[in-house]
Structure 1
Amino acid sequence: MNERLLTTPDGRNVLHMQRRLTHPPAKVWRALTEPEHLARWFPTEVRIEGDRVRFGFGPDGTVIAHDPPHLFAFTWGEDQLRWKLSPDTTGGTLLDFTHTFADRHGAASFASGWHTCFTALVRLLDGARPPAPGDTAALHEHYVAILGLSSGAVRGDTVRLERQLTRPAPEVWQALHGDQATIGTPPPAPFAASGVEAGPVIRVEPGKLLECAAGAGTVRWELAEGTGHGARLVVTHTGDPAALPAWRAHVEDLAAALAALARPGA
């Protein structure tokens, strides 16, 4: 496996994934382009009608490259998907896949989703049964780490962290004890990072937002719809740029705890 996240000159993001397959390019090509095979591994129904691609959900796409059995690419809304097949010396195929998109913080969701799809693709090529569902939350967190999506940023006196989570907003709010938040009192403990002053709550929108005072600035937690099945978390702390490491550790601890909740038996 070989996964990288790159940035284009115009600010879009390119997820690159590579797989070595034991089957020849012609067989892999059929699995990539024929609807009856796509139905076994692609994340939704696909119908290819000339240069138009219709999906089971989301906007239509357009075929932008079709060179059998070497290159196949099409758009899916604003995104672009590209498969390049190269024969290797063993009679198999080197598959190079790229997904170009705008939402950088959704990259781990995309990567874990395609990882699961490629596992199903291999099973299809091998003539085996589809794989059993795996620990998708752990896979997501694996890709957050290897794609470098947990760093956060400082601009002026403001710390900002954006993080895709593996659980929906109501469950995240519950894990944060958000229902215990009261304006004018300190926030529930899960909203406070170690070593960072937490003043009184000044605004609450249940399930969506909590803002509190913090020294000379404020801390704001926001939950919104994310990529995949989880919420998107944005934490913004004004007035203390040195707080970035504390917030990074705190958000990663929260993400790990939520991923553990997603596992069977947790």
Structure 2
Amino acid sequence: MTDRTDITGTVTDIDGHPNLVLTRTFAAPAAEVWRELTESSRLERWIGRWEGDPATGRIAFFMTSEGEDVAPEEYTILECDPPRRFAGDTSAASGSWHLWFELIEKGEATLLVFGQRLNPGEDVGSIGPGWEYYLDRLVAVHKGRDAATVAWSAYFPALQPAYQRLVAGG
């Protein structure tokens, strides 16, 4: 992939909070896409893995796509309604992130609506390209390709100005 300048994200107000929202469409039923997003072994193919018992409402998430010896982040599961909706909070190094997704079946396809609530002062110029990158890695593995075929350099800094303008215009 070459450097991009187009973005798929928008900033939308949800319950009085700005949220970065991105979408992807999959030629698969929602239950299959749900597994890509929630089963540790499938999740690890494109972003990371989790350990623990989700029934307790907490897991440890290892963002293994960032390296082999990455420290785990505690993740609190707030909502889990398979195969429709998931929401949770993670203790990201720069502060807590509220992440969520919804799966909407559209005939033979499923629309993934992925969001992150934006905390004051967060750098959307880095966050937006990051989620574009990871969601495209998800699309790649879902289509049977290696996630490594998606190059970070095509996303950052290429998409940074567009995301900064998005927030400045909002």
Q: TM-score, normalised by structure 2?
A: 0.75
Deviation at 1:7, TM superposition (A): 4.6
* Corresponding residue of 1:111: 128
1:1-266, aligned counterparts within 5 Å?
Answer: 2-7=8-13, 12-42=17-47, 44-50=48-54, 51-56=57-62, 57=71, 59-77=73-91, 78-89=96-107, 91-130=108-147, 131-133=149-151, 134-135=153-154, 136-145=156-165, 147-149=166-168
Which structure's CA Rg is the greater one?
Answer: 1
Instruction: Give, as a single letter, the amino acid of the residue that structure 2 aligns with 1:140.
Output: Q
Change (3 A) 1:86 1:8: closer
Gaps of 5+ in 2: 1-6, 63-70
Change (3 A) 1:19 1:104: farther
Corresponding residue pairs, total: 147
**CA offset digits 1:35-81 (Å, max 9, x no partner):** 11111222x44335222121234641211111111111111122211
Percent identity for Structure 1 against Structure 2: 25
Deviation at 1:138, TM superposition (A): 0.6
SS in 1 for 2:113: strand
Instruction: Give, as a single letter, the amino acid of the residue that structure 1 aligns with 2:9.
Output: E
Output the CA distance in 2 between the equivalents of 1:55 and 1:100. 19
Query: Is the CA contact 1:13–1:103 (under 8 Å) kept in the aligned structure 2?
Result: no
Output the CA distance in 2 between the equivalents of 1:75 and 1:48. 16
Gaps of 5+ in 1: 152-266
Output the CA distance in 1 between the equivalents of 2:144 and 2:168. 36
Deviation at 1:150, TM superposition (A): 7.7
SS in 2 for 1:40: coil
Structure with higher RCO (Cα < 8 A, 6+ apart): 2
Query: Is the CA contact 1:13–1:104 (under 8 Å) kept in the aligned structure 2?
Result: no
Deviation at 1:31, TM superposition (A): 0.3
